[in-house]
Amino acid sequence: MSIEVKKSSDGKELTIYLDEQFDFAHHKDFREAYRNEPANLRYRVNMARARYLDSSALGMLLLLKKHAGGEAADIILEDVPGEIREVLEVANFHKIFTLR
Amino acid sequence: MKPLFIALTAALGLLGVDVAGLAAPWRWAVEGGMILLLFLAWRARGQGGADPEKVTEERGETVAPARPETASGELIRTLEGELREESASTAEEVRRVQALLHEAVTGLAREFENMSCFAQRQEAIVTEILEHNSGGSDGGVNVRQFAEDTSHLMEEFISILTSVSEQSVETAHHIDDMVEHLDGIFDLLDDVKSIADQTNLLALNAAIEAARAGEAGRGFAVVADEVRNLSARSTAFNDQIKEQVAKAKGAITHVNKTVNAMASRDLQVTIEARNRVQRTLRAVEDMNVFFAAKIGEVSALGEEQAQAVATAVRGLQFEDICRQSLEAAEISLERVQEMISLLRDVAAGDTDVVARLQTAREQWSTTRHKAVAQEGMDSGDVELF
């Protein structure tokens, strides 16, 4: 099991499905998912399977936002489990990203 | 002598009732009855024997009226003596009660005031303690400020952690790019190597062709050899470049490990620490609310106590009523003593008694003591006299 990437039929939305561990070991795969895509896509990070985040996960998400245009980025973190939400809130990520 | 005796005894009885019923509204009736009885006694006295003055006038002589040592006269003197003693004794008791009452009430009032002072000081001390604890005063330990500062520090720390994480992952990306470029170089070097190998082959072929051409191909063979040399050197350089690039790649992979460590921090400890700080802040809030409530309670109690003291001091005003009652009692006793004197005069045969009694009653009515309406301390304010 690793990171999966799906693009919508109209090509305007990209969803990255995360694995149980979202840490530094996955940094290359995560980057590859969006590296060659344009900045103006709708980006969705699906965290339904995620169980563990470390600080590198925070960095990776911030770099995705940077790629997608910074303040103008359209990014939503979907299906965030309760414990993961707590981690994100400690880092004030609920103020930086839209959490669902 | 019997009618006299009966009348006097009845008069004394009424006198007693009069003294006892100080606040009674029917005093008038009682005293009227007393006067009537005294008059009858005086009349009855004259019946027992000849009126001394009449006898003197009839005789035409000046005879000093003999003092009759009648049994009733002695009885009256005895009674008068007893009455005088008892009323004097009562007067003494009244005075003593007045003194005791005054001393006691003054003492009580003073102690109530003291209690009130102590209570106020206690309240001030408690308030001081509570304010000190909540950091209200300058020198106090300000737990709330400490908790807030810690909370801010936590926020800053997390912010720095996030920044470092972002920069670390970005560095990792750059390193990945570098490794890609280096791998690109390797690919190029491989191409160069294959070119050198092919060149070598071609040169070998050329040498073989030159040998076959014999003497005519000797110059060509030399050129072919040189080309072979060049390609060998090229290959050697290639290998050296490859070696360097491999070293570079190795060094970069080393850096990758460090960046990995920098980027990967476990967040669990941070989360727990932040939660603890939040809990402490909430506890400090609760503590402040608690202290404020307690200060409120202490204040309310202080007010209640002040009111209780005021009520108690007001209660001591019963002394006024008592004093006035006692003064009235003293006056009544004085009047009783006057009447005892009149009684003596009746016994001595004084004809003036009724007139003097009437005069006294008229005097008394002008300074009649108004009965105090208040029966107890509950019925509102004290009447001012």
Query: With an 8 Å Cβ cutoff, are A24 and B170 in contact?
Result: no
Which residue on chain A is closest to B271 by alpha carbon? A90
The total domain count for chain A is 1
Query: Predicted confidence band at B5 (pLDDT cuts at 50, 70, 90)?
Result: low
Which residues 53-72 in chain A show a CB within 8 A of chain B? 53-56, 58-60, 62-63
Q: How far does B310 lie from chain A, in Å, by closest CA?
A: 59
CA distance A21 to chain B (A): 12
Judged by DSSP in three states, A45 sits in strand
The per-residue pLDDT for range B268-326, each reduced to its tens digit, is 888 898 888 889 888 888 888 888 888 889 889 888 988 898 898 888 888 888 888 89
Give the residue from A87, A64, A56, A60 showing the smallest Cα distance to B259: A56
Name the minimum distance, in Å, from the CA of B271 to any CA of chain A: 6
Contacts for A67-76: CB closer than 8 Å, 24+ residues apart: A67/A34, A67/A35, A67/A39, A68/A34, A68/A39, A68/A40, A68/A41, A68/A43, A69/A39, A69/A40, A73/A39, A73/A43, A74/A40, A74/A41, A74/A42, A74/A43, A75/A43, A75/A44, A75/A45, A76/A42, A76/A43, A76/A44, A76/A45, A76/A100
- Lowest mean pLDDT, pick from B59-73, B207-221, B351-365: B59-73
- At B368 the pLDDT is 63
Compute the nearest-CA separation of B153 from chain A (Å): 13
Half-sphere exposure of B219 (CA within 13 A, CB side): 1
Contact A41, A73 (CB under 8 A): no
Nearest chain B residue to A22 by CA distance is B264
Chain B residues touching residue A89 (CB < 8 angstroms): none
Computed over every residue of chain B, the mean pLDDT equals 80
Q: What is the pLDDT of residue B382?
A: 47
Task: Give the model confidence (pLDDT) of A14-63 as tens digits.
Answer: 999 999 999 999 999 999 999 999 999 999 999 999 999 999 999 999 99
Task: Choose the closest CB to A87 out of B167, B169, B267.
Answer: B267
Residues 14-43 on A with a CB inside 8 Å of B are: 23-24, 27-28, 31
* Integer Cα distance of B385 and B378 in angstroms: 18
With an 8 Å Cβ cutoff, is A96 touching chain B? no
Among B155, B173, B267, select the one facing A55 at the smallest CB separation. B267
- Distance, in Å, from the CA atom of B4 to the CA atom of B48, rounded to the nearest integer, reads 9
Nearest to A87 among B166, B170, B271 (CB): B271
The number of residues making up chain A comes to 100
CATH value at residue A95: 3.30.750.24
Residue B47 reports pLDDT greater than 60: no
Residue B383 pLDDT level (bands cut at 50, 70, 90): very low
| Beta strand spans in A18-93 (E) | 21-22, 42-46, 52-53, 75-78
Is 0.90 topped by the overall pTM?
no
CB contact under 8 A, B158 and A60: no
> Reduced to 3 states, what is the DSSP secondary structure of residue A94?
helix
- B376 pLDDT above the threshold of 70: no
The residue with greater pLDDT, B59 or B199, is: B199
What residues in A contact B266, CB-CB < 8 Å? 54-55
Bigger pLDDT: A20 vs B21: A20
* pLDDT > 50? residue B32: yes
pLDDT at B72: 74
Predicted local distance difference test score (pLDDT) of residue B81:
86
ipTM entry: 0.92
Summarised one tens digit per residue, pLDDT across range B335-368 is 888 888 887 787 777 777 778 888 888 888 876 6
- Write out chain A residues lying below 8 Å of B278, CB-based: none
- What's the rounded mean pLDDT across residues A56-81? 94
- Residue B372 reports pLDDT greater than 60: no
In the structure, what pLDDT confidence band is assigned to residue B60 with cuts at 50, 70 and 90?
very low
Closest CA to B264 of B157, B165, B160, B158: B165
Min Cα–Cα distance to chain B from A84, Å: 11
Structural domain boundaries enclosing A63: 4-99
Q: Which two tokens stand for residue A4?
A: 């999966």
Per-residue pLDDT for B164 more than 60? Answer: yes
Residue for token pair 């050697």: B236
Size of interface A-B (CB pairs under 8 A): 69
Closest C-alpha to A88, from A61, A70, A65: A61
Partners of A51 on chain B (C-beta within 8 Å) are none
Partner-chain residue, chosen from A23, A90, A92, that has the shortest CB–CB distance to B270: A90
Share of chain B above pLDDT 90, in %: 29
B169 and A56 within 8 Å at the Cβ level: the answer is yes
Separation between Cα atoms, residue B101 and residue B316, nearest integer Å? 10
Q: B161, A55: Cβ pair inside 8 Å?
A: yes
Out of A59, A60, A86, name the one closest to residue B271 (CB).
A86
pLDDT tens for residues B68-118?
A: 556 777 887 888 888 888 888 999 999 999 999 999 999 998 999 898 899
Q: Which amino acid belongs to residue B97? A: V
Q: Does A91 touch chain B (CB under 8 A)?
A: yes
* B264/A87 CB distance under 8 A: no
**Element spanning A90, H or E:** helix A82-90
**What are the contacts of B2-5 at 24+ separation with CB within 8 A?**
B3/B40, B3/B44, B3/B47, B4/B41, B4/B44, B4/B45, B4/B47, B4/B48, B4/B72, B5/B72, B5/B75
What's the pLDDT score for residue B15?
65
User: Three-state DSSP class for A55?
Assistant: helix
Mean pLDDT value across chain A: 92
CB contact under 8 A, B159 and A92: yes
| CA quadruple B200, B206, B209, B215: dihedral sign | negative
Cβ contacts of B257 on chain A, cutoff 8 Å: none
B328, two tokens: 């009235």
Q: In which band, very low, low, confident or very high, does the pLDDT at B53 lie, cut at 50, 70 and 90?
A: very low
Candidate from A60, A90, A92 with C-beta closest to B271: A90
User: How buried is residue B96: exposed, middle or buried, by Cβ count under 10 Å (0-12/13-18/19+)?
Assistant: exposed
